[in-house]
Amino acid sequence: MKRWRHFIVVIGIIPALIIYVAFFMYTFDFITGYFWLLDWITYIIAGLLWLYPAAKVIKWLADHESH
């Protein structure tokens, strides 16, 4: 049964998202509010930063799906 990898991702993504959101909420308290452009850049970076690890996880799932 190859679906155990999907189960691991589903179980692992919830705490990972909680930690990710909590970290950036804490960080935004110190960074934002000084200048609107800095706020925009910070939000864009935080919004896109999760794409790299998500792509790695999806690639890991896809690589092992065909075996």
pLDDT value at residue 19: 94
CA atoms within 13 A on the CB side of 4: 2
Domain count, the chain: 1
User: For the chain, which ranges sit under pLDDT 50?
Assistant: none
Domain residues for 35? 4-65
pLDDT value at residue 2: 67
- For 2-53, what is the HEC assignment? CCHHHHHHHHHHHHHHHHHHHHHHHHHHHHCCCCHHHHHHHHHHHHHHCHHH
pTM here? Answer: 0.70
